[in-house]
Amino acid sequence: MNNNLDPMNIKNDFPIFKRTINGYPLIYLDNAATTQKPQSVIDSLSSYYRNSNANVFRGVHTLSIEATDLYDLARQKVQKFINAKNFQEIIYTRNTSESINLVAYSWALKNLTKGDKMFISPFEHHSNLVPWQQICRKVGAQLLYIPLDDSGAIDCDKFSSLIDQNTKLISVTHMSNVLGEISPIKDLTELAHRFGALIMIDGAQSVPHMPIDVQEMNCDFLAFSSHKMLGPTGIGVLYAKKEILEIMDPFLFGGDMISEVTYEDAKWNDLPYKFEAGTPNIADAIATGTAIDYLQNIGMEKVFDHEINLVSYALEKFSSLENIDILGSQDPSLKGGVISFNHKFIHPHDLGTALDRFGIAIRTGHHCAMPLIRSFGLVAASRASFYIYNDNEDIDKLIDSISDIEDYFINE
């Protein structure tokens, strides 16, 4: 365990861990779906509504000025968190899914044509699969899949023989929400740009868990959600290079995304506002900045190291359960804080329900990655995913509880 990160101390900052589930202390292992919120984020939401509630950019009174300042400051925090060049490259959306759809309809629909190619990986969440199916079908482009090697990891050597000048876009998850596999983003970006293609990164599972530097990555687009990184639901981010955003058309219309309107036509506002129609999600943007403050105070290197240690420990403990099959790689150096598994005799939904009786929350189902789960010959799987407030004791309780559940289901 990384001694510089104390999960028990961190847990004290999260009110939800004061409650019990079915008489047991809550053990929350569903962090890939959403994370819990520290008191500081909850207080941030409350403080905005209690003290500074007003619309932004539209008033000269004190409350509007305060709200605008807080809202702008939050965007600057996001910019620095991922090391974007400037705040104009940070677009607020509702979530990762909307960020991807914004690129699909504002960039891809205009730039993909019949005969073009785009590539995604076989690991993708539905949100980074279905929009591209729809766009490619609409314009007549080919949606193709990046090949995997024998271990099930992305094979950049094989991919280099498939990508060509007709490839216009690659869109790939940075870290699989099912397998925890970390994609070779640097190599994929180099390949994309070598052939004049753009690359989009689904960072829903990476931005909350590891240091991210979009300038170093040199990605063209990056999407992520606040609620997976201690922030509130209902707000996400699209990062895109400024020169790309400038040539993209707006996705939604109305409100402050407009600079001038006549009865005949309209002109769009400057970046980033031309992509943010209507009254924005002010409170949740401010609270996202507070969540970033919390993570920055810990340090993202420490967050990532902590999760690697947890995964390594969890994989070792899972090896003691002879009826469990781990999906994907069992090399902790290739994974983030996600382990999906299947019990040979107990259905995932039964296992998840039984674990809940011990106060343990995991995810069961296809994890919004139905094709990937089916590629393992399954219709559902169980998933444990970790974060800063989890420790080895949580994993011990998970493994011990699975053993107890086995005794009930198999030996009764």
Helices and strands counted in the chain (H then E): 15, 17
Closest Cα to residue 287, out of 48, 127, 103, 102? 48
Do 391 and 315 contact (CB within 8 A), yes or no? no
User: Helix H segments across 259-366?
Assistant: 282-298, 300-318, 348-356
Q: Which sign does the torsion angle of CA 388, 393, 394, 398 carry? A: positive
Rg (CA), the chain: 22
Q: How far apart are CA 400 and CA 15, in angstroms?
A: 26
Q: How far apart are CA 326 and CA 318, in angstroms?
A: 8
Q: Which sign does the torsion angle of CA 247, 249, 255, 261 carry? A: positive
In 3-state terms, what secondary structure has residue 258? Answer: strand
Q: How far apart are CA 219 and CA 92, in angstroms?
A: 18
368 catalytic? Reply is: yes
Q: Tell me, rounded to whole angstroms, the distance of Cα 225 from its chain centroid.
A: 6
Phi then psi for residue 68, to 5 deg, are -65, -45
Q: Choose the catalytic residue: 136, 156, 219, 368.
A: 368
Residues 6+ apart with CB under 8 A from 331: none
**Amino acid at site 278:** G
Q: How far apart are CA 162 and CA 386, in angstroms?
A: 36
- The residues annotated as belonging to the active site are 368
